[in-house]
C-alpha cells in the first residue's frame, strides 16, 4: 500500500478517535443516557481496531492472494459494523434532546457525518447487489 493511502487511513483513525472520545464522554452527561451510547462507542472502537489492522497488514509482505482474502474479510466486518453503528446512532439521535447541553458539543457533528457516510455506503452496497 502506498504511503498516501496509509496517511488517509491514519487521518481517518484520528477522526474516528475524536468521535469515539465524544461518545465516551457522554457517560458523564446525565441527559444522554442509554445503552445506545455504549453501543456507538463500541462500534467506533471496533472500526478503529479494524483500520489499524488494515494498516499493519499493508506493511507485511503477504502473498497477494492472502492479502486479498484478509482485506475482503476486514471489509465485510467493517460493513457489518457500519450497519450496527448506523442503527445505534439513529437510536441515540432519538433519545438525546436538543436541550441536553452537555451532548451538544461540536464533536457530535463528527458522529453525524460518519452516520451519513456509512448510511450512504450501506445503501450503495444494497443497490449494487440488487442490480446483479
Q: Tens digit of pLDDT for each residue in 50-63?
A: 888 877 877 777 78
Domain boundaries, the chain: 3-130
pLDDT tops 80 at residue 43: yes
Least confident range of 29-33, 86-90, 119-123: 29-33
Cβ proximity of 36 and 88 under 8 Å = yes
Cβ proximity of 61 and 53 under 8 Å = no
Q: Residue 110 — pLDDT band, cuts 50, 70, 90? A: very high
Tell me what pLDDT residue 68 has.
81
Mean pLDDT over all residues of the chain? 87
Tell me what pLDDT residue 99 has.
85
Cβ proximity of 83 and 34 under 8 Å = no
Q: Residue 132 — pLDDT band, cuts 50, 70, 90? A: low
Query: Averaged over 56-77, what is the pLDDT?
Result: 81
Q: Which residue has the higher pLDDT, 114 or 33?
A: 114
Query: Averaged over 99-113, what is the pLDDT?
Result: 89
The upper half-sphere exposure of residue 40, i.e. CA atoms within 13 Å in the direction of its Cβ, equals: 32
d(CA 102, CA 92): 14
Tell me what pLDDT residue 32 has.
80
Tell how far CA 39 is from the center of its chain: 11
Amino acid at each position: 500500500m502506498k504511503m498516501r493511502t496509509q496517511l488517509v487511513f491514519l487521518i481517518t483513525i484520528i477522526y474516528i478517535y475524536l468521535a469515539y472520545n465524544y461518545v465516551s464522554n457522554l457517560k458523564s452527561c446525565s441527559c444522554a443516557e442509554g445503552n445506545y451510547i455504549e453501543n456507538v462507542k463500541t462500534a467506533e472502537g471496533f472500526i478503529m481496531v479494524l483500520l489499524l489492522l488494515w494498516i499493519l497488514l499493508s506493511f507485511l509482505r503477504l502473498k497477494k492472494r492472502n492479502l486479498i482474502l484478509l482485506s475482503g474479510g476486514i471489509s465485510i466486518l467493517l460493513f457489518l459494523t457500519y450497519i450496527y453503528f448506523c442503527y445505534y446512532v439513529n437510536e441515540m439521535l432519538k433519545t438525546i434532546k436538543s436541550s441536553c447541553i452537555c451532548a451538544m458539543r461540536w464533536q457530535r457533528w463528527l458522529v453525524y457525518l460518519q452516520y451519513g457516510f456509512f448510511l450512504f455506503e450501506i445503501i450503495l452496497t444494497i443497490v449494487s447487489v440488487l442490480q446483479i
